[in-house]
């Protein structure tokens, strides 16, 4: 517990220094070219992601769900016989994603959140990768060893990415020890192990603190640290290599993340975040001087950058308004790209009615027909939202005994939702 407290104090202190560590002048660096994934491999991955979302979307705190591909585990006291199997994570000490020629292997792990009741952090093992819990650490799975599964890889697995994609609960922190490094993070990161046995942690959004003993490094989104096996000290963070992040399925996460370009920038002066690269476009938000931004791409004139803020809001800013570390090359587009989305119709989480009876309605309106009256603490599946994100469509575990209805709408403000889920990231119900 003492280590956790120290890390949290350091996290809060160093976050206040975040602006001072950004470069004062613009700089550029060169990255390796990103090869597009083979179409057949992309199709396989899309199918595996859709299956995992469908089968594991309702996984709760402290549970494991086998999503797709080949999977093994120990001990065998609990039975997981097929994809969609959900069991308590505390009953398992080792999870093994094996090689599969037909479908990428994906397993969901929901780590218990030590800071909030009922909260959990989401992690996904993707590809042939194994995770073993340190059984002497409490709670179980607060410390783990991540490694590459010893297996012959298929062609798609050779070209794909293997590792652990993890996300802290919304508004909370995740504290987790991976391969001897204690990581305190407030959003999203990806951890992989190279063939040489190095552990690479890429921060995709937010910030993270890595700690070995008294050695601490702050890692901002767009940066990574690479550690050799059995490292006893931490290297300085560097802009990450985007190659292994190509095609990373962040749609799996409760809050979808667009993978930014390496490095980051900050606002040099007050500016607006625009809906398109045009001073006449609608203004989405105000960006204050010193605000840290991650880059997504630029317009063909090189006069504008498409950026994303730490809260996930994306838009365009003039190139003259920002400074920092820019990639040597960046994708160019004039129209704002669409962020990753999830298909409508899948169960994407579980919620519960409050301590009093509420109405489930036929449409997202208090004037709509009442289809069911949910008793206090009734649990339900979450399917999607309305455009305003103030109502969600739900599915009951059993039809209402009076009307026979299973699907309907409830107001977001009166129900309890998992703190790992951001309503804005749910698909809009067609």
Query: Could you tell me how many residues make up the chain?
Result: 430
Return the pLDDT at 20.
Answer: 35
Domain formed by 37-252, architecture: Sandwich (2.60)
Return the pLDDT at 24.
Answer: 36
CA pair distance 119, 61, nearest whole angstrom: 7
Quote the DSSP letter at residue 250. G
The topology under which CATH files domain 350-425 is SH3 type barrels. (2.30.30)
> 328 and 31 in contact (C-beta within 8 Å)?
yes
Cis before 403? omega within 30: no
Return the pLDDT at 19.
Answer: 37
pTM of structure:
0.83
If DSSP codes are grouped into helix, strand and coil, which group holds residue 123?
strand
Return the pLDDT at 12.
Answer: 43
Q: What is the mean pLDDT of each run of 10 residues along the chain (430 residues)?
A: 42 41 40 51 89 87 92 90 91 92 92 67 93 88 91 78 89 89 94 91 95 93 92 92 90 90 94 94 94 95 94 92 92 84 81 93 96 94 93 94 95 86 86
What stretch(es) of the chain map to CATH 2.30.30.40?
265-327, 350-425
May I ask the CATH class of domain 265-327?
Answer: mainly beta
What stretch(es) of the chain map to CATH 2.60.120.1440?
37-252
If DSSP codes are grouped into helix, strand and coil, which group holds residue 227?
strand
Return the pLDDT at 182.
Answer: 94
Quote the DSSP letter at residue 180. T
Over residues 356-390, the pLDDT tens digits come to: 999 999 999 999 999 999 999 999 999 999 999 99
Quote the DSSP letter at residue 168. P
């Amino acid at each position: 517990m003492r280590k956790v407290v120290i890390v949290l104090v350091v996290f809060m202190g160093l976050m206040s220094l975040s602006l001072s560590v950004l470069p004062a002048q613009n700089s550029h660096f060169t990255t390796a070219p990103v090869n597009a994934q083979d179409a057949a491999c992309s199709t396989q991955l899309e199918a595996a992601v859709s299956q995992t979302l469908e089968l594991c979307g309702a996984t709760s705190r402290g549970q494991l769900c086998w999503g797709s591909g080949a999977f093994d585990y120990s001990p065998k006291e609990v039975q997981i016989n097929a994809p969609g199997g959900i069991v308590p994570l505390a009953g398992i000490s080792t999870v093994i994603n094996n090689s599969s020629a037909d479908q990428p292997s994906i397993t969901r792990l929901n780590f218990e959140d030590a800071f909030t009741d009922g909260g959990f952090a989401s992690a996904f093992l993707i590809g042939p990768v194994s995770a073993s819990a340190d059984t002497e650490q409490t709670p179980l799975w607060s410390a783990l060893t991540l490694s590459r599964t010893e297996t012959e890889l298929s062609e798609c697995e050779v070209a794909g990415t293997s590792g652990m994609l993890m996300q802290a609960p919304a508004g909370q922190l995740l504290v987790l020890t991976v391969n001897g490094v204690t990581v305190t993070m407030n959003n999203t990161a990806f951890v992989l192990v190279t063939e040489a046995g190095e552990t690479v942690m890429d921060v995709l959004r937010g910030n993270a603190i890595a700690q070995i003993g008294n050695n601490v490094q702050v890692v901002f989104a767009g940066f990574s640290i690479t550690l050799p096996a059995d490292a006893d000290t931490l290297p300085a963070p560097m802009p990450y290599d985007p190659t292994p992040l190509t095609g990373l399925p962040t749609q799996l996460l409760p809050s979808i993340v667009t993978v930014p370009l390496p490095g980051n920038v900050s606002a040099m002066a007050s500016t607006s975040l625009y809906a398109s690269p045009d001073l006449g476009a609608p203004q989405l938000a105000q960006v204050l001087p010193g605000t840290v931004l991650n880059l997504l791409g630029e317009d063909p004139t090189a006069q504008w950058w498409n950026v994303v803020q730490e809260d996930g809001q994306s838009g365009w800013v003039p190139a003259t308004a920002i400074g920092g570390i820019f990639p040597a090359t960046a994708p160019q587009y004039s129209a704002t790209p669409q962020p990753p989305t999830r298909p409508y119709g899948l169960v994407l989480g579980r919620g519960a009615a409050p301590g009093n009876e509420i109405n489930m309605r036929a449409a997202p309106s208090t004037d709509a027909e009442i289809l069911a009256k949910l008793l206090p603490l009734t649990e339900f599946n979450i399917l999607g939202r309305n455009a305003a994100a103030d109502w969600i469509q739900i599915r009951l575990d059993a039809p209402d005994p009076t009307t026979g209805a299973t699907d309907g709408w409830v107001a977001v403000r009166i129900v309890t939702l998992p703190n790992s889920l951001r309503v804005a990231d749910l698909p809009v119900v067609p």
